[in-house]
Structure 1
Amino acid sequence: MGIVTPFPAPQRPATQVGFERAELTRILDLYGRMVSAGHWRDYAMDLGRDAAVFAAFRRAAERPEFRIEKRPALRNRQGMWALINEAGMVLKRGHELPAVLAPVERRLMKLVAD
């Protein structure tokens, strides 16, 4: 008979970082208010192995105005949440989502007040 070649050993299943329901509700609530203010028009989500990213766009064909990133590997360091602007600069980093979203919330208040 022939030679039997064994299958490779099973590998660890690939893990994926995602948003919990309460986190996504908070982010989409902010997104909805920015849409109703006429500032944002589109969004995208990227759920990867290292991070989950929510990107908000002013128009569909451009760089996102803000990215909200969740990186669980940074949980014990600077915090797993980050708010990143269009140029790629980290505006706010922290352990709690509401504190990280505060600069966008303040901007929304200015937009509504105008």
Structure 2
Amino acid sequence: MHFQPTGSQPRAEQVAFDRRELGAILGLYGRFVAAGEWRDYGISHLRDVAVFAVFRRTAEHPIYRIEKRPKLRDKQGQYAVIGMDGQILKRGHDLKTVLRVLDRKLIRAIE
């Protein structure tokens, strides 16, 4: 039997990136920062989705969102990269494969 301390609410389950996923995302983020393309990020852990948002400047709309939606794991894949306009740039089951859509943009930015 599980007891809650008096006055506390049961904690709602949240979706979060694990250490391996954050390592892959932050590695990509660091390369874009070094290239001068990205300057800030934000992370949200919600009930149905975890979001890593990338910003060109602080206090603006994100230019990309990297999302993890476990409910889509058996369908299109739980990972997605979404552009500023809401368009899904890539979706899939493997995070590193999905992140490659942004790697191509970094190569173009450096050239």
TM-score by structure 2 length? Answer: 0.88
Aligned-partner Cα distance in 2 for 1:89–1:62: 18
Identify the match of residue 83 of structure 2 among 75, 82, 85. Answer: 85
TM superposition outliers: structure 1 runs of 4+ over 6 Å: none
Q: Counterpart in 2 of 1:57? A: 55
| C-alpha distance after superposition, 1:24-44 (max 9, x if no partner) | 000001001100000000000
What RMSD over aligned residues (CA atoms) do the two structures have, in Å? 1.2
Give 1:16's aligned amino acid: Q
Aligned-partner Cα distance in 1 for 2:58–2:27: 19
Identity %: 54
**3-state DSSP of counterpart to 1:83:** strand
Offset of 1:14 from its aligned partner? 1.4
Q: Counterpart in 1 of 2:6? A: none
Give 2:95's aligned amino acid: L
Aligned-partner Cα distance in 2 for 1:89–1:40: 19
Aligned residues: 103
Give 1:51's aligned amino acid: V
| C-alpha distance after superposition, 1:55-87 (max 9, x if no partner) | 000011211111000000000000000110001
Larger-gyration structure (1/2): 1
Identify the match of residue 26 of structure 1 among 21, 24, 27. Answer: 24
Q: Counterpart in 2 of 1:48? A: 46
* Stretches of structure 2 lacking an aligned partner (at least 5 in a row): 1-8
